[in-house]
Amino acid sequence: MLNFQYYNPTNYVFGKGQIEQLTKLVPAGAKVMLAYGGGSIFKNGIHQQVTEALKGFEIVEFSGIEPNPHFETLMKAVAIIKEQKIDFILAVGGGSVIDGVKFISGAVNYEGDPAEILRKRILITDVSKVIPFGTVLTLPATGSEMNSGAVVTIAETQEKLAFGGSALFPKFSICDPTVIESLPKRQLQNGVVDAYTHVLEQYLTYVHEGFLQDRIAEGILHTLIEIGPKVVDNPSDYALASNFMWSCTMALNGLIQKGVPNDWATHMIGHELTAMYGIDHARTLAVVGPNLYRALFDTKKDKLAQYGRRIFNLNGTDEEVAHEAIEQTVAFFHTMGMQTKLSDYVKDYDHTATTIAKRFEDRGWLGLGERQNVTLEKVKEIVEMSY
């Protein structure tokens, strides 16, 4: 097993009715920015629950953080925080709002152009320089509620860029599974497939000595396969909702990635498809992932075989099981309402592979993946296979 440090200071507050804990969790006397998205929290009553729990706190609301949050929008919040001397941020939303708040938190006291945080991937590690924040999760998917990473889009140039750092963990995250009742089917499907792919990015690499990490990863995959299709049809079933929410968090709170190789190339390519065409994050992963496994078959086949045997109970030679495991993955994505070709989403896609390869070249991303063998040529091949 590889050496590692596992640091995760987020106070994870789970369960029905827990939003009322905000009263105790937000630091006493804080001036709070309440940050949220396009208004779903008004329709499902979460805004009311939050403001009731925060009675007595001075609150400044910041609305309109869009899906795949924009740098340009977030910089408006940065200006308000500086002007109004806000000392705590509460993110109420899904991955986009939480990621947006991570950026705001790091940008307020950043010396220099905050776009550098994204373009130069500056690590945000000094807790004395960030604005502390907590979250109320409304959409299980990204794990952002218990990790220190985030993804922000510079709308002007269509750049969707990941950043993070140890100072960007939420102080707390309130995860009440009943919030998923109001989610549209499409977002529930997205959540399952995003979390599933997070596990694959940390699992589907090569055979290694992280036996426990593998078993935990497989446990999350099994759970998502079992509950995913059901929770989409019945989000008010508390057993399904709670296992869904916890699985999504566990898929990307850092635990299963420690001590083992990590891939993440599917995400890096997928982010480009969102930046270029606005396709939902999870749906880009369903398009790219299976083709990446096909294109990297030679180096991934041993782990694919383990995955096929343990997750789908497949039999046969390693080669046969590995191939069939990819097909079973695609079938699961279809069950979860995903389309798995770029042409299902976009008409004019011929230039996509060269555009993405050029962007990666400009950024110096010449070898992604657990073996740095996702070269520019491979990126092109994977994207072309996805057409």
Spatial distance between the Cα atoms of 32 and 87, rounded to a whole number of angstroms:
6
The SS3 call for residue 337 is coil
Spatial distance between the Cα atoms of 145 and 137, rounded to a whole number of angstroms:
7
Selected binder of Zn ion within 176, 194, 263, 381 (CB under 5 A): 194
**Binding residues for ligand NZQ restricted to 284-303, rule: CB under 6 A:** none
In the complex with ligand NZQ, the residue whose CB is nearer, 176 or 314, is: 176
In the complex with ligand NZQ, the residue whose CB is nearer, 143 or 210, is: 143
Residue type, 48: Q
* 281 near ligand NZQ (CB under 6 A): yes
Q: Which stretch binds Zn ion (CB under 5 A): 149-157, 188-196, 329-337, 345-353?
A: 188-196
Axis crossing angle, helix 318-335 with helix 297-312, rounded to the nearest 10: 70
In the complex with Zn ion, the residue whose CB is nearer, 22 or 282, is: 282
* 38 near ligand NZQ (CB under 6 A): yes
The tokens for 56 are 């007595």
Nearest to 90 by CA among 56, 48, 61, 122: 61
The count of other CB atoms within 10 Å of the CB of residue 252 is 26
Exposed/middle/buried for residue 76 (C-beta within 10 Å: 0-12, 13-18, 19+)? middle
* Nearest-approach distance from CB 281 to Zn ion, in angstroms: 6
* Nearest-approach distance from CB 263 to Zn ion, in angstroms: 12
Choose from Zn ion, ligand NZQ, none: what does 353 bind? Cβ within 5-8 Å by kind. none
Q: Which stretch binds Zn ion (CB under 5 A): 19-27, 125-133, 193-201, 375-383?
A: 193-201
Spatial distance between the Cα atoms of 133 and 17, rounded to a whole number of angstroms:
20
Binding mask 309-348 for Zn ion (x = CB under 5 A): ----------------------------------------
Selected binder of ligand NZQ within 96, 205, 243, 340 (CB under 6 A): 96
The count of other CB atoms within 10 Å of the CB of residue 120 is 12
* 138 near ligand NZQ (CB under 6 A): yes
* Residues 6+ positions from 46 with CB-CB distance below 8 Å: 19, 40, 92, 136, 138, 179
* 254 near ligand NZQ (CB under 6 A): no
In the complex with ligand NZQ, the residue whose CB is nearer, 82 or 363, is: 363
The SS3 call for residue 160 is strand
* Nearest-approach distance from CB 168 to Zn ion, in angstroms: 17
* 142 near ligand NZQ (CB under 6 A): yes
The SS3 call for residue 364 is coil
Spatial distance between the Cα atoms of 26 and 238, rounded to a whole number of angstroms:
27
- Name the residues that contact Zn ion, by CB under 5 A: 194
Binding positions for ligand NZQ, rule: CB under 6 A: 37-41, 44, 67-68, 93-97, 99, 138-139, 141-144, 147, 149-151, 179, 182-183, 187, 190, 194, 252, 267, 281
